[in-house]
Structure 1
Amino acid sequence: MQLFLLHFAGGNCYSYDFLRNDLKSKIDFYALELPGRGKRYKENLLLSKEDAIMDYVKQIKNLRNKTPYIIFGHSMGAILGFSVANHMEKEGDPPVSLVVSGHSGPRIKEKDQEEDNTKKKKYHLMNDRDFKERLRKMGGMPDEILENSELYNFFAPVLRADFAILEKGKSPENKVKIDSSIYAIMGDQEKNVENIENWKEFTKSGFRSQILKGNHFFINNHSKKIANIITNCFEQVLTNQ
C-alpha cells in the first residue's frame, strides 16, 4: 500500500519524517515536494495552483504500483491534495481515501481575513514585517528563523511562493466532489475548527473527522494518532474488498 504526503506551505520532503516510525511497515511512505526546496532546491519555484497540482499528479503517477493508496496533506497540502485526488480519479486511478489536516476545506475563508480589514491583503504580497507577524501567528516557524535575517531571506521566497499558489487565480475545487472518502483532522485551537464538517460537502463517499489538541501545527504532537488514522483508512478498504 502507498501513502503520498503533500507538505504545508514552506514545507518539503522532510516535513513528515516524524510520522515514519509510527506507520506500519506494510505502508510505503512517499513524502512528495514541490520544486525549489529540499531535494528539488535547484528547480524554479512554482507560483500557480494548477502547476503545483499537476506537479504532484505527475509525481504520483510515476510512483504508482497498482496497490491501494492514500493521499495525506496538511494545510496547503490538504487543499492541493483534494484537487490532486480529483485529477487522479479522472486518470482512472483514484485514492482509496483522502486524509486532510489543518484545513477546513474549500469555500471557507480564514477568520482573520473576515474580521480584520488590515489582513485582507494577500500574504504573499505583504511587507516583511507583516509577513513575519503572520508566520508567528500560524506557528510552525521558529523565532530563530524569523529573527535571523540570513535564515529568513533563505526561507521567505519559498513561503511567499507557496502562499501565491494558494492566493492567486481561481479555486476550481470549490465546485468539485470526489468519489474517494475524506477523513478530516484539525487542531482544537485552529481558527476555523468549527467548520471541519465542511469537508463532508466535497465527497460522494464516506466522511469522518477528528479534532486533536493543538494549534495549526498540532500534527507534530500527534504522530501516533495520525498514523493510526491513516492505517485505519487502509484497513477499512481492505476489509471491504
Structure 2
Amino acid sequence: MTDDAAESTPEPTLYDDLDGQVALVTGANRGIGREIASSLSDRGATVYAGVRSVTYDIPDEWRRLTLDVSQEGDVQDALNRVGDDEDRLDVLVNNAGVGHFGEPLHEERTAHIDHTISVNLRGPMLLCKYAIPPLLNAETPRIVNVSSGMGALGEAQSGGSPAYRVTKTALNGLTKYLHGEYADDGLIANAVCPGWVDTELGGEEAPRSPERGAETPAWLARFRDGPGGLFWRDKQVIDW
C-alpha cells in the first residue's frame, strides 16, 4: 500500500464495550481464534465458539458450536442455533483454516488441494451465505476474514504451498465481493493477515504469539464505523 493510499484510509471508530452484541468465531478452540474469541468476550460480547469436536476445551462462558466449516449442515445448524438463542448476530470471524505447506503444485496431493479449498474458501463462503441475513439486521454488522500475506498477489508466490496460497487469495476476493455487494446495507467486511504466528498451523519457529496475531482481527471486529473491503496487517492497510 502506498503512503498516500494508507493516509487516505479513514480512521475507524470502535466499540469499546460489546455488551449485548453477539459474535461467532470459527476455529475458536486454540491459537489465533481462541485469542480473538477471548478478546471479544472480555469486552462483553456473547461469543459463539465454532469448534470441530465436542471434546475441545473452551471457557464456560462461551457458547459451544460443534462446527466443521466444510459441512453445510453444520453451518446451517450453527446459524440456526445462534438465531434461536439470540435472534441477532453482530460479528462473524472466519478464522478456521488449514494448510499443507512446502510442496509445489505438481507434487501436491489432490486430497490436500480438496481439503484446503473446502476449509479455507468454501467454509467461509458458506458461513457468509447463512450469516448475512441476521448480520444485516444488526446496527453495525462486521465480517472479518483471517487471510494471509502468502495469498497477496504482489508477493512472489514461490516456495510451494499452492492450495494454501490460492485459497487465501480467493478469501481476499470474497472480502472484496462482500464489500461491493453489501456495504450499502451497512456491512463492514475486511480481510487480515495476522502475521507468522506460533500456532499448530504456523509452527514453533514463527516469531509471533497467538495474542499478537489476534490483535488486528479482534480490532477489526470492533469497528463501529470504519472502512471495509480492505486487507490489513498490524492495523495498517496492505496491498492485496
TM range (shorter): 0.3 to 0.5
Which structure shows the higher helix fraction? 1
What's the TM-score, normalizing by structure 1? 0.45
